[in-house]
Structure 1
Amino acid sequence: MKVAITGARGFAGSHLGRAARDLDYPTHEINRDAWDISETPSTQFIDSLMQFEPDVIFHLAALSKRSDCGETNPNQQATAVNIRGTHQLISLVKECLPNARVVFASSSYVYGPVFDTTPVSERAPCNPQCGYGKSKLQAEQLIADAVEDGLDAVIVRAFQHSGPGQQPRLILPEWIRKLQQGSKVDVFNLQSYFDLSDVRDVVRAYLTLAEHGKTGAIYNVGSGKALCSGDLFDEICRHLTIDQNNLTVNVQNPGERFSPIADVTRIMEATGWSPAIPLELTISDTIAAITSS
């Protein structure tokens, strides 16, 4: 299987490229130097992609930090990258690579608010509350419309994931760095419940769905388990051998909070995929990557 990856230098994209190469899949990595997806692709880029002739294009390029995309509606940059960029990719595939499959990386942020840890299936109503989630849902609709017009595509709603190489703006690497740097730690909340999986499990799901996903179908990808942020904090401290009695922890927004938990029944039944990497290994590998960087 010949694969092309947009957003190949990003966190998940770099792991996906590595996983594809480990399977000996010829891989064409697309980064912003080759094509800024918010812009019309150059003839030179189109020619190189057509010459490579991918069987699958994984569309991971996106503005993916929630706070960068607009508080309640997509801002100009999120619209350009997440929505218009997806439209540009669809047009390119339809015109130049009509036999290629598209695997679109969407997000759990397309779902509405939840108030407990009951897993959310793909049939749950979509009611995104932030600019990022709304931009991803609009991109999903572009994909769905193109499928009706003959595009071979699969939509993957990835829930929160982490692992080695993730930027410290996100919860696991951020807390690791803070705990390594001092005895006073500011945290947002220690009573949040969310779904956290390992990025290496997520990209394995992408590759599995490229081969076995049903055209036009939507698949949740996550751990399927609710993780409490306080338990994550405790586990990081354990791995770093930190005595919490010597810590001063400032909780900025106390109180219970809930994010959607993935119901992964559909992907498990369709492909046999299941999450395999335990949280302990995700934490230890992330610590090792941060320490060596």
Structure 2
Amino acid sequence: MDRVLITGGLGFLGSHLARELTGTAEILILDEGKSEERIMDIPGSLRVQKMGLTDPALKAAVKDFEPDTVFHLGAFTLPYREKSFLRTSMESNVFGTLSLLESLENIGVKSFVYASSSEVYGSANKAPFREDMVPRPTSPYSVGKLAGEHYCMLYHDTYGFPAAVLRLFNIYGPWQTPNRIIPELIVSCLKKQTFRMTKGEQTREFNYVKDIVRALIAATAEKATGEIINVGCGKGVAIKDVVANILSMMSNPINVEASLPYRDNEIWQMHSDSTKALKLLGWKSLYSIENGLQETVEWYRKRWNSNRSSICFGGV
């Protein structure tokens, strides 16, 4: 049985990946997060070590486990543009990634998958975004993610390290903390609270988390090594239409105030050209936005009825 290391495995995406791999691999999760709520219902045993990627104990933990496959999902993920986040992003997304790569030297890793972001393309490029476009990141988060990409490719090109980079486009699904528009709106409906947003004219693509997990696993194939690959459904949807879709699925529509200002340097259109993912990974999106939203809404409803203090409602 392969040994799989997942950084950020207590988070939204990492916990879904761990759930999918359980029973087929021995799994070690490295995460400095406090709550293990997302993995408590996963059958079998998961090893969890609470540490950040710049922790001096990282190298010993990695050497002791000797992973065959590494999924590097751990990161500072808030896309805010305030200068106060510059050093936080640098510490987590740049120094953390470099520390992890250094700790894996001489371990004999077969595959290393780095979760980057569509945010690296920025506002200077026009959708659909392709891998050959010049990135122009516009936030501390996206700058940090792009720097992490460069370190992964440096390790591959110069040191022969088996790294692959996936630029993931917007993800949603069960267990997502309500600091993103889809879970935030669903939770607002459940709490019967007014929801505030922009006019929602900007378009984004939304990918159901199960589709993204399949892409992560597919990227462990040898032909993905040394590649930067977009992962997304390729279909842009206006934010206001996603909001309308969710409201129609909820039994208690709420007041929506479209009064918030747009961000400076707003990215008006963001969707992917994922031709490369299909060609190299055999991957394409299977969930429509309607089907994915329906599963997500139903999950939050059930969770609301059973545990309203959950992290997916801003608790714990």
TM-score calculated relative to the size of structure 1: 0.88
Change (3 A) 1:212 1:224: farther
- Structure 1 residue 258 displacement after superposition: 1.3
1:79 aligned residue (76, 90, 94) = 90
Q: Deviations over 1:62-115 (max 9, x none)?
A: 011112xx53696222111110010011101113x1333210000111113157
Letter in 2 for 1:143: C
- 2:122–2:267 contact (8 Å) kept in structure 1: no
After superposition, where does 1:176-187 map in structure 2 within 5 Å? 176-182=186-192, 184-187=194-197
Q: Does 1:28 align with 2:41?
A: no
Shift of 1:44: 4.8
- Partner amino acid for 2:17? L
Distance 1:213 1:14, change over 3 A: farther
Q: Tell me the amino acid that sits aligned with residue 40 of structure 1.
A: P
* 1:145-156 mapped onto 2 (5 Å cutoff): 145-148=154-157, 149-156=159-166
Between the aligned partners of 1:114 and 1:260, the Cα distance in structure 2 is 11
Distance of aligned partners of 1:213 and 1:202 in 2 relative to their CA distance in 1, 3 Å threshold: farther
Equivalenced residues, count: 283
**What amino acid is the match of 1:9?**
L
Residues 224 and 281, structure 2, Cα contact 8 Å, conserved in 1: no
List per-residue Cα deviations over 1:194-215 (Å, max 9, x = no partner): 1110111111100001125432
| Aligned mates of 1:43, 1:196 — CA distance in 2 | 36
Q: Which residue of 1 aligns with 2:11?
A: 10
Alignment match, 2:99: 88
Q: Is the 8 A contact 1:78 1:132 kept in 2?
A: yes
**What are the Cα deviations for residues 115-151 of structure 1, in whole angstroms up to 9, with x where unaligned?**
76x3111001111011111001111111111112111
Residue 130, structure 1, aligned to residue 139, structure 2: yes
**Cα offset, 1:43, TM superposition:** 6.1
- Gap regions ≥5 residues in structure 1: none
RMSD over aligned Cα atoms: 2.3
Structure 2: gaps spanning 5 or more residues: 33-48, 308-316
Of 230, 234, 247 in structure 1, the residue corresponding to residue 255 of structure 2 is 247
Q: Could you give the per-residue CA deviations for residues 18-75 of structure 1, whole angstroms, max 9, x where no partner exists?
A: 11126x233222222443102223565234312xxx22100000011112xx536962
Measured against aligned partners, the alpha-carbon deviations of 1:207-256 in whole angstroms (never above 9, x if no partner) come to: 0011254321000011110011111011101110355xx73533313799
State yes or no: 1:225 paired with 2:226. no
Counterpart of 1:127 in 2: which secondary structure? coil
After TM superposition, list the pairs within 5 Å mapping 1:265-280 onto structure 2: 265-280=275-290
TM-score, normalised via structure 2 length: 0.82
**Aligned counterparts of 1:187 and 1:219: Cα–Cα separation in 2:** 31
1:65 aligns to what SS in structure 2?
A: coil
**Aligned 8 A contact 2:30 2:52 in 1:** no
Conservation of the 8 A alpha-carbon contact between 1:195 and 1:224: yes
C-alpha distance in 2, partners of 1:132/1:248?
Answer: 29
SS in 1 for 2:104: helix
Aligned partner of residue 57 in structure 1, secondary structure = strand
Q: Measure, in 2, the Cα distance between the counterparts of 1:165 and 1:37.
A: 23
User: CA contact under 8 A between 2:8 and 2:31: conserved in structure 1?
Assistant: yes
Report the 3-state secondary structure (helix = DSSP H, G, I; strand = E; otherwise coil) of the residue aligned with 1:29.
strand
Shift in CA distance, 213/172, structure 1 to aligned 2, threshold 3 Å? farther
Inter-partner Cα distance in structure 2 for 1:175 and 1:161: 15
**Identity in percent:** 25
Aligned to 1:142: 151
Select the residue among 40, 48, 52 that pairs with 2:56. Answer: 40
Structure 1 contact 114–260 (Cα < 8 Å) conserved = no
RCO higher in 1 or 2 (8 Å CA, sep ≥ 6)? 1
Structure 1 residue 174 corresponds to structure 2 residue 184:
yes
Tell me which amino acid in the other structure corresponds to 2:134: P
1:210 and 2:211 are equivalent in the alignment: no
Aligned equivalents of 2:186, 2:120: Cα separation in 1: 28
Counterpart-to-counterpart distance in 2, 1:57 and 1:4: 5
Structure-2 change in CA distance of 1:73 and 1:157 (3 Å): farther
Identify if the C-alpha distance between structure 1 residues 288 and 212 changes in structure 2 by more than 3 Å, giving closer, same or farther.
farther
More off after superposition, 206-215 vs 191-200: 206-215
